Amino acid sequence: MEPLSRVTDATVDVLRALRAGGRNVWGLQVIKMSGRAPGTVYPVLERLERAGWITSEWERDDARPGPRRRLYKFTSEGASAAVELLAERDAQRATSRRVAPRTDGRLA
């Protein structure tokens, strides 16, 4: 597994959606859960897969009507890395909220 070269807010949203979605999550589900557009989500999923954070495979349910879905799931290393990265982001967000500017322009 490779580290991610850049971690955007969209990447964080996709990682959160993948974690919340369970074992096999399909693209439209990630789009709905993340609130991001398909043109944002699918490139992030592709980067995560190339880096070895997730794997994907085509759905094998022939009984379900409609087109096949591409199912995504974390690799074991990717799941651990995602937990770590999301915890770091949450800590950064909490810190940035605590260090808010005062009304006189100085840091609190």
Angle, helices 9-21/76-98, rounded to nearest 10 degrees: 120
Could you give the domains of the chain?
9-60+67-90 (1.10.10.10)
Q: How far is CA 53 from the centre of its chain?
A: 10
pLDDT given for residue 87 in this prediction: 96
Question: What distance, in Å, lies between the first and last C-alpha atoms of the chain?
Answer: 40
CB 82 within 8 A of CB 20: no
Mean pLDDT by runs of 10 across the 108 residues of the chain is 94 97 93 97 98 96 87 97 96 75 60
